[in-house]
Structure 1
Amino acid sequence: MKYFFRLLRIVLGPFMLLKESLTRPKGVVRSVADQTKVDAACQKLALYQFATCPFCIKVRKEMARLSLTIELRNTQHVTEHRQTLLAQGGSPKVPCLKISNDDGSVKWLYESKDIVHYLQQEFAVI
């Protein structure tokens, strides 16, 4: 069963990535000062993800829509990222957003809908 899904991902992955690039939303336009503030806030975030995971694609599309420059950490191909996610986040599940706070604490946010909701709350343009 595991090999079936691996094969399915290999076959469908390029099509999923093509669809993502063709349907990527246009990002919001902010003033230079506002975008600089958003970029600074994004420095405290990292998205642990797989390139062809449909839930990760959902989060990346929202990042594009909100014009966010969040670091992407591929846990499928980079063992160090997968180990960090497991050791510090508690689960190897993706997508997972690492949120580093000013006081040094870290929050690990799982579930694509929760991550999208967080991004919309923090960075939505009114």
Structure 2
Amino acid sequence: MEGPPVSLLNDVTSFVASALRYPRGFRAVVTRSERDGPTQLLELYEFEACPYCRKVREALCELDLDYLSLPVAHGSPRRGALKRRGSKVQVPYLIDPNTETEMYESDDIVSYLYRQYGLGRSDGSIVPLPRIVNDGLALAASAARLTRGSRCRVPNSRRRLKPLELYNMEASPYCRKVREALSELDLQYVVRNVPKGSPQREELAQRGGKVQVPFLVDPNTGTAMYESDEIAAYLEERYGVPAADN
């Protein structure tokens, strides 16, 4: 477990990453109560350290959309499945079973999500940013976290595990630390987005007792918990050893 100085540095760099992207992924532009659907869960091949994946995750949060995260950090065995599905190992890769849409390219995915689920509203930027500036800020946010969430640390497949659930707000520096651990441990998980204004916050309060993120639910062990450092420690202890499918 990290000592106090390392833990403090971890928190500070995560706050820096959030500040570089503010206000993206913080507040709902459209809530699930304002639209019909989607009825089926979207899927996203991604990994936490990828700046282009970050842009898609921000849009999903702003649109109050849940999705299944399929981590494919460097070294992940799941990269083979991505190549078979989409013909190349490139992220982000979105699958929307509601419209039978599958696509690469972050800007194309963000445009699709807002067109399909955004009710004609613009994204969560304070002012429109040129693409080069938007990409540059996303890259800077990744650089602030060094290599966290970029490389898979377990060689075994996780196919027999049920997906974990994470109540999440993309802009939260504490959620980021948990997503990094999930990415490095190659654990697929359902993202339950709860940006500011989301009606799903009521569900979070009922399920966990308060509105606070991150909140992890592990159906494989019956565990449910708050607090990012405790969640990361739990994930490391439970899934960090290279045992066959745990």
Name the TM-score, length of structure 1 as normaliser.
Answer: 0.69
Distance 1:110 1:29, change over 3 A: closer
- 1:49 partnered with 2:168: yes
Cα distance in structure 2, aligned partners of 1:79 and 1:10: 23
Cα distance in structure 2, aligned partners of 1:66 and 1:101: 15
Q: Number of paired residues?
A: 109
Q: Larger helix proportion, structure 1 or 2?
A: 1
1:71-82 aligned within 5 A: 71-76=190-195, 79-82=198-201
Cα distance in structure 2, aligned partners of 1:67 and 1:28: 8
Residue in 1 aligned with 2:159?
36
Distance 1:28 1:97, change over 3 A: same
**What letter corresponds to residue 158 of structure 2 in structure 1?**
Q
Residue in 1 aligned with 2:224?
108
1:27 to 152, 175, 178: 152
Name the TM-score, length of structure 2 as normaliser.
Answer: 0.38
Cα distance in structure 1, aligned partners of 2:239 and 2:223: 17
Cα distance in structure 2, aligned partners of 1:87 and 1:122: 26
Residue in 2 aligned with 1:121?
237
Q: CA deviation at 1:84?
A: 1.1
Q: Which has the larger displacement, 17-26 or 69-78? A: 17-26
Structure 1: 5+ residue stretches without partners? 1-7
Identity of aligned residues (%): 28
Q: Which has the larger radius of gyration?
A: 2
Structure 2: 5+ residue stretches without partners? 1-17, 25-50, 55-137
**What letter corresponds to residue 36 of structure 1 in structure 2?**
R
- 1:89 partnered with 2:208: yes
Q: CA deviation at 1:88?
A: 1.6
